[in-house]
Amino acid sequence: MSKMISVCGLDCSVCPAHVAFLTDDQALREKTAVEWSKAFQAELTPPMINCVGCTSVDGVHIGHCDECSMRKCGQSHKVRNCGECEEYGCDTISGFLEKVPPAKANLEAIRAARKR
């Protein structure tokens, strides 16, 4: 499966919420709801573990998508992800990328490919 890069650089194609949506895997939803509830100190239920991917406007998204400042910023700049943005490295995403090296690597690869 090819990568499906979100606005912030995460790979949606390996996200449990996206995989559960695509495969209708109830066991994965249940497992992820428990894991994410602990990790994010939030009460998540299996029905909440569904997502078409944050770059899609229509369809089901995990709850955080509606409040994600990076997603809102990407939409306002009309880019699929921050790697395509002229303001890449801005305050909106820089703190996140420091904490999530794989997302930064994905966005850096996109930027490098654009320069070729």
Per-residue pLDDT reduced to its tens digit, 30-82: 999 999 999 989 999 999 999 999 888 899 998 888 889 999 999 999 999 99
Do the domain assignments include residue 80? yes
What is the pLDDT averaged over residues 12-37? Answer: 96
pLDDT at 31: 98
Domain that holds residue 89: 12-115
Average pLDDT, the chain: 94
Do the domain assignments include residue 3? no
Number of folded domains in the chain? 1
Q: Burial level of 33, CB count in 10 A (0-12/13-18/19+)?
A: buried
User: What pTM was computed for the model?
Assistant: 0.86
pLDDT at 21: 96
Do the domain assignments include residue 75? yes
pLDDT at 66: 84
